[in-house]
């Protein structure tokens, strides 16, 4: 259950809407609080169990809205500071570390992968000599995604504790021919980022997730973000994650080992906001490397309908705003949770959304509803 699966592939749950905010006095226009509460409730109304969203305004004011329930069995409310798996949002963390290493002169974006992982990517037309670090981060490597996934609830129960090494995951990919010649097209590739993690290990001599912790989480003040390794549980508080395997039936999939390490990070909406504000605010990368990260290209066809008008840089999506201009983001989906987020170009206005439920048949409606949360939050009063 990853972002690609959700892209390619309703009973409405009745619950209250909870809001905490530093609200403005009425002005005859919808406030940030009004919009966030309304838009969060609309996501929940699709039949998604729980939603939390957090907006940070340019003056540092925080607005938080929740809708639905954290647990379908108990009916407990969604915690406004609940933890969740950020899934592919973790790719932005990995890309940031890689670009820091570029800034330090320890690796080049146009280095072939073969330089750091000699002989590792070979076979069936796959060749690490033709794939660069830039290709990995940009989803232009041509490496075919073949990550294990759960097809049914029974499959989940049987395989939720399975553990895969990066080498074993890469071996699955190498059974396939490349999707295209490296650098000639764009296609979302989780395995490309798994290879990037392997490169970070080799360049630094340390585990890639430790480099993320030291280089990104600590300086950004992300104290509630952790990497669980092969631990299948989440620290509290958290909403439980659900996935729809069959029509109308939600299975609790909270407890599982996340085989894609970069998708395993557990965070909060507050910490995700801290990351994107620090990144676009220039506190994690020098200007030259931030410019490389935000140099974008069009998406491949499987993502164009899901994210219309979006472009991709190195670990970041650039998306249009209805009020004009664009914003930066990296959504994630799978493992019973989806996340969306956005930050303005100056890093001063940001929003993060977590949804504790995945329904593949509603992937497009789900994305449109969370897009509305993000766009209205970033546009502010001008957007309505």
- Residue 15 pLDDT greater than 80, yes or no: no
Average pLDDT over residues 27-40: 86
Q: What letters, b where the CB count within 10 A reaches 16 and e where it falls short, cover 202-231?
A: ebbeeebbebbbebbbeebebebbbbbeee
Residue 292 — very low, low, confident or very high, per pLDDT cuts 50/70/90?
very high
Tell me the CA end-to-end span of the chain in Å, nearest whole number. 35
Percent over 90 (pLDDT), the chain: 88
Note the pLDDT tens digit of each residue in 244-266: 998 788 999 999 999 999 999 99
Whether a cis peptide bond, with omega within 30° of 0, leads into 237 is yes
Residue 19 — very low, low, confident or very high, per pLDDT cuts 50/70/90?
very low
- Residue 382 pLDDT greater than 80, yes or no: no
C-alpha span between 321 and 229 (Å, rounded): 36
Angle at CA 333, nearest 5°, toward 161 and 301? 125
Looking at 93-97, 172-176, 333-337, 355-359, which range is the least confident one?
333-337
Note the pLDDT tens digit of each residue in 51-86: 999 999 999 999 999 999 999 999 999 999 999 999
Q: Are 332 and 87 in contact (CB under 8 A)?
A: yes
Angle at CA 108, nearest 5°, toward 103 and 112? 160
C-alpha span between 383 and 2 (Å, rounded): 31
pTM score, whole prediction: 0.92
pLDDT of residue 302: 81
Note the pLDDT tens digit of each residue in 120-136: 999 999 999 999 999 99
- Residue 108 pLDDT greater than 80, yes or no: yes
Average pLDDT over residues 5-11: 40
Percent over 70 (pLDDT), the chain: 92
CA dihedral 267, 268, 271, 276 (to 10 degrees): 90
Note the pLDDT tens digit of each residue in 316-343: 999 999 999 999 999 999 889 999 999 9
Residue 4 — very low, low, confident or very high, per pLDDT cuts 50/70/90?
low
């Amino acid at each position: 259950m990853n972002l690609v699966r959700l892209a390619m592939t309703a009973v409405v749950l009745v619950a209250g809407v909870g809001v905490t905010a530093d609200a403005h006095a009425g002005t005859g226009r919808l406030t940030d609080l009004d919009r966030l509460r309304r838009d969060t409730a609309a996501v929940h109304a699709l039949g998604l169990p729980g939603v939390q969203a957090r907006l940070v305004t340019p003056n540092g004011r925080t607005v938080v809205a929740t809708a639905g329930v954290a647990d379908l069995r108990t009916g407990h409310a969604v915690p406004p500071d609940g933890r969740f798996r950020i899934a592919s949002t973790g790719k932005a963390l990995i890309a940031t570390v890689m670009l820091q290493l570029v800034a330090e002169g320890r690796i080049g974006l146009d280095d072939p992968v073969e330089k750091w992982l000699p002989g590792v990517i070979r076979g069936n037309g796959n060749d690490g000599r033709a794939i660069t670090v830039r290709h990995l981060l940009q989803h232009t490597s041509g490496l075919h995604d073949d990550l294990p996934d759960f097809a049914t609830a029974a499959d989940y129960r049987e395989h939720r504790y399975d553990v895969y090494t990066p080498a074993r995951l890469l071996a699955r990919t190498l059974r396939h021919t490349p999707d295209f010649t490296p650098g000639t097209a764009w296609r979302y590739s989780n395995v490309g980022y798994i290879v990037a993690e392997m490169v970070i290990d080799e360049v630094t001599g340390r585990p890639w997730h430790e480099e993320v912790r030291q280089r990104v989480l600590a300086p950004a003040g992300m104290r509630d973000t952790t990497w669980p390794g092969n631990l299948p549980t989440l620290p509290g508080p958290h909403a439980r994650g659900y996935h729809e395997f069959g029509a109308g039936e939600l299975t609790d999939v909270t407890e599982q080992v996340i085989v894609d390490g970069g998708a395993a990070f557990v965070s909060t909406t507050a910490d995700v906001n801290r990351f994107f504000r620090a990144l676009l605010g220039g506190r994690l990368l020098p200007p030259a490397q931030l410019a490389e990260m935000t140099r974008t290209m069009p998406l491949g066809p499987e993502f164009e309908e899901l994210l219309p008008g979006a472009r991709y840089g190195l670990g970041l999506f650039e998306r249009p705003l209805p009020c004009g201009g664009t914003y930066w983001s990296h959504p994630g989906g799978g493992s019973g949770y989806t996340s969306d987020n956005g930050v303005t170009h100056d890093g001063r206005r940001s929003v993060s959304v977590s949804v504790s439920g995945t329904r593949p048949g509603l992937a497009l409606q789900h994305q449109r509803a969370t897009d509305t949360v993000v766009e209205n939050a970033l546009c502010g009063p001008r957007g309505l």
